[in-house]
Amino acid sequence: MKTTSGIWLVTAGVAALLYARQGIAAGTPAGTAITNTAQVNYTVGASTATATSNTTTTTVLQILDVVETVQTPSVAVTPGDLKKPLTFRITNTGNGPDTFVLTPSSTLAGDNFDPVLAAPSSLYFDTDNSGDYTAGDVAYVAGANLTLAANATVTVFVLNNIPTGLNNGDEGRSQIGATRKGGAGTAGQTIPGGGVGGIDAVFGSSGDTATQFGKYVVANNVTMSAVKSQTFGDLFGGTRPLPGATITYSVAITPGGTGTATAATFNDAIPANTTYKPGSIKLNGTTLTDAAGDDAGEYLSAPAAHVSVTLGNLTQASGVQTVSFAVTIN
């Protein structure tokens, strides 16, 4: 019990410390003059006197610091999607106005594919403060100055087009870099006269540059719907289900949703009291052989008689796939 209480106290202490650090991050405004004067009261003999000291003046220098966070670390996409946004927040954690230049990049290591930065503009501000990329948002002009007041935050979207031909779970990274207009520095480095009003500026821990990436993930929420229909052809040229009559089954498979159904395979059992009609498998109107390995279609008699057609990778863009085969009634 005592140990538990001790752990809780340590945790609370860490929280307090973090809060204090955040307080410092806001920072006393650059250029603030901090003055201090001491006073003394005393007696000599029967007399009382008061005196004040000189006044010390300490000027607050400008600290140059920036923090970037990714608001959407992972966004689900479908191959071929256009202008998909990732959302970032950039905060001037210095204590004076600071000017930044933003740089997007989508050719990053550590992923499966490279998203393609949208053209002509890939960076947009959340102008309407909706939190989402919307038609009213204004584009950032490449290389333009972005000036943020002390502690001010701006929300920026990077828009990418998603290539086709991707697999489920594939990840593609995209990032925004925010760097002081005059260039990044090292923590503690001073720029004489580089601060607001000509005071010195000092680089904070970030070096006044920050980069964060988010990623697009090809989502695995593809849907497959199948509609099966049958037509009869009896031995007498009619459509009655008599023994010896042929039933042609046609199955329309429609992929939907987002993502890719990888290595999709169609399997359908031969109904009881019927016999598979050899050479009757068709995929989208093209006849396939019953043998395994020579094409996408195959008839298997064991363990239970069924037809199997390999459909490959399917996305919504693949469209309807139609498989047909025929059986005869015993």
Partner 1 sequence: MKSQSSFAFIALLLPLLTAAAAAEHNRPAASPAVPKGGCIVLTTAAEQQLNVAAADGSSSVQYQPAARVVPGSEVVWTTTARNNCSKPAEKVVIDQPVPEHMVFIADSAVGGGAQITLSVDGRDYAPANALTAHNADGSARAARATDVRSVRWTLTGPIAPQSEFTARFRAVLQ
Closest approach of Cβ 38 to partner 1, in Å? 4
What is the Cα Rg of the chain in Å?
Answer: 35
Do 262 and 313 contact (CB within 8 A), yes or no?
yes
Q: What's the closest the beta carbon of residue 74 comes to partner 1, in angstroms?
A: 34
Instruction: Report, in Å, the least distance between residue 30 CB and partner 1.
Output: 9
Q: How far apart are CA 177 and CA 66, in angstroms?
A: 11
Q: Which of 107, 190 has the CB closer to partner 1?
A: 190
Which CB, 20 or 144, lies closer to partner 1?
20
Nearest to 225 by CA among 323, 324, 312, 320: 320
DSSP string, 248-280: EEEEEEEEEEES-EEEEEEEEEPPTTEEE-TT-
Instruction: Tell me the residue type at 165.
Output: G
Shortest separation between residue 16's beta carbon and partner 1, angstroms: 10
Going by C-beta distance under 8 Å and a sequence separation of 6 or more, which residues neighbour residue 248?
230, 231, 233, 280, 324, 325, 326
**For partner 1, the closer CB: 16 or 235:** 16
| CA angle (100, 106, 108) in 5-degree steps | 105
- Cβ neighbours of residue 22 under 8 Å, at least 6 residues apart? none
> Can you give the binding site for partner 1, defined by CB under 8 A?
23-24, 26-28, 32, 34-49, 51-61, 63, 95, 199-200, 202, 204
The CB-of-213 to partner 1 minimum distance in angstroms stands at 28
Query: At its nearest, how many Å lie between partner 1 and the CB of residue 72?
Result: 31
Please state, as a whole number, how many other Cβ atoms lie within 10 Å of the Cβ of residue 271: 14
Beta carbon nearer to partner 1, 172 or 204: 204
Of 46 and 135, CB closest to partner 1:
46
Q: Nearer to partner 1 by C-beta: 192 or 293?
A: 192
